[in-house]
């Protein structure tokens, strides 16, 4: 099953660095679960949510949006020319959400209490309850959507047929669930108007989070596709190689349109609350860096790339847009949060928090590499060609 692995290829600099990070992460995991939050984090009563929520959860969920974006484009809007992008996108989504839940356990501390909101004490009026329920359901949806690749690998034809027959209802369910929880993650911050800087706080936060998640999903599919093309070229079949170019151009165009709309919405967000005067402050300068540098300029760069059919430019802009989404989520959850507190009370993550986040990302990348190496993700399984 795993024949053909060249042992010399295992000891690459990337693999060795990953191994070191994973070992450090394992030690930090033991420290966190034996010593509590204070052992490894700088969290306190003013800042109960830190990097693990701001980066691992908020960025993780947004960047895993490629699954619903791609599957809805292909199965709901009938854009079959992007079909080869579905499996990698679903895999990224599935792994993204899996590691979001994994990371959440570090923050919660008692993993066995994860099902509590559903079976012990529900809080149906809370955004957190809605996010938890949607993520739990959507992770299940993603698992079933991803599973045909695993069943094909294992040769389980019947169960593969059942899972494959559920594609359309699961896609619709996935879009509904994603719309709900992507926006609700922004909705979480509606409760903190006095803590979040007015330039980032808006009644439209749920809308901002949802629309930007579409950009994150599209950009992540292009970014991940460019990496897969570079490092897993030998795993890609002719269909994937031929369609890759179409995927970049089509998704680049969509990203340009959605980003331009998002830019207008953000400006309207300032106008509705009459927050113009904040733009002349230091916080305003940082807000403009985000708005111009990570929204307007990437939208323009996407558009130029699409016009010129410059795939390199589009792929680089996709990485830029992904960075922009990370900047936005960190701004809302950490940087512009508690902005009025004196510097001594502000939160900055400890090296162990940063290392734990890096550990979780590395673990995700390692599992991704393992799956695309063995499962039919970047190519069609010979026995199921044209059966999609």
Residues that bind other proteins (CB under 8 A): 253, 256-257, 260-261, 264, 267-268, 271-274, 276-277, 299, 303, 306-309
Please identify, using beta-carbon distances, which residue of 168 and 267 lies nearer to other proteins.
Answer: 267
Smallest gap from Cβ 271 to other proteins, in A, equals 5
Residue 28 or 256: the one with the smaller Cβ distance to other proteins is: 256
Give the C-alpha separation, 148 to 156, whole Å: 9
Q: Give me the least distance between CB of 281 and other proteins, in Å please.
A: 12
Quick one: 154 or 268, whose CB is closer to other proteins?
268
In the complex, minimum distance from the CB of residue 260 to other proteins, in angstroms, rounded to a whole number:
5
CB of 277 to other proteins, least distance (A): 5
Give dist(CA 322, CA 306) in Å, integer.
18
Q: State the Cα–Cα distance between residues 27 and 118, nearest whole angstrom.
A: 31
Per-residue tokens: 257: 């349109």
To other proteins, the closest distance from the beta carbon of 295 in angstroms equals 13
End-to-end Cα separation, the chain, in angstroms: 24
CB of 340 to other proteins, least distance (A): 20
Q: What is the DSSP letter of 276?
A: G
Q: How far is CA 205 from CA 95, 310, 312, 336, in A?
A: 26, 33, 32, 14
Task: Give percent helix, percent strand, percent coil of the chain, each to the nearest 5.
Answer: 80, 0, 20
d(CA 135, CA 141): 10
Q: Which is nearer to other proteins, 307 or 385 (CB)?
A: 307
Alpha-carbon distance values, 26 to 10, 283, 307, 357, 362 (Å): 20, 38, 47, 12, 12
Q: For other proteins, which is the closer residue by CB, 190 or 265? A: 265
Task: Identify which of residues 221 and 254 has a Cβ nearer to other proteins in the complex.
Answer: 254
């Amino acid at each position: 099953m795993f024949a053909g692995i060249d042992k010399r290829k295992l000891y690459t600099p990337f693999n060795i660095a990953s191994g070191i990070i994973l070992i450090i992460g394992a030690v930090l995991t033991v420290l966190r679960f034996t010593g509590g939050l204070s052992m490894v984090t700088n969290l306190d009563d003013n800042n109960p949510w830190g990097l693990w929520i701001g980066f691992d959860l908020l960025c993780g969920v947004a960047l895993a949006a490629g699954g619903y974006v791609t599957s809805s484009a292909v199965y709901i809007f009938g854009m079959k020319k992007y079909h080869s992008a579905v499996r990698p996108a679903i895999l990224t989504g599935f792994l993204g959400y899996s590691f979001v839940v994994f990371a959440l356990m570090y923050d919660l501390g008692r993993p066995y209490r994860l099902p509590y909101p559903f079976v012990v004490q529900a809080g149906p009026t809370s955004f957190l309850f809605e996010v938890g329920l949607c993520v739990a359901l959507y992770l299940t949806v993603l698992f079933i959507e991803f599973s045909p690749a695993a069943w094909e690998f294992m040769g389980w034809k019947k169960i593969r047929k059942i899972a494959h027959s559920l594609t359309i209802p699961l896609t619709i369910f996935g879009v509904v669930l994603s719309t709900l929880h992507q926006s609700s993650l922004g909705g979480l911050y509606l409760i903190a108007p006095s803590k979040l800087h007015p330039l980032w706080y808006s009644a439209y936060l749920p809308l901002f989070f949802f629309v930007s998640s579409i950009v994150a999903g599209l950009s992540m599919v292009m970014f991940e596709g460019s990496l897969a093309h570079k490092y897993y070229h030998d795993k890609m079949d002719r269909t994937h190689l031929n369609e890759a170019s179409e995927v970049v151009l089509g998704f680049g165009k969509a990203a340009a349109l959605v980003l331009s709309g998002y830019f207008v919405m953000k400006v309207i967000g300032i106008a509705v609350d009459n927050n113009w005067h904040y733009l002349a402050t230091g916080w305003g300068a940082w807000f403009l860096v985000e708005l111009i540098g990570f929204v307007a300029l990437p939208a323009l760069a996407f558009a130029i790339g699409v016009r010129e059919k410059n795939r390199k430019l589009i792929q680089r802009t996709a990485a830029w847009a992904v960075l922009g989404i990370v900047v936005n989520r960190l701004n809302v959850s950490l940087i512009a949060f508690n902005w009025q507190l004196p510097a001594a009370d502000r939160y900055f993550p400890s090296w162990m928090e940063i290392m734990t986040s890096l550990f979780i990302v590395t673990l995700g990348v390692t599992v991704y590499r393992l799956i695309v190496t063995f499962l039919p993700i970047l190519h069609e399984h010979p026995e199921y060609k044209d059966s999609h």
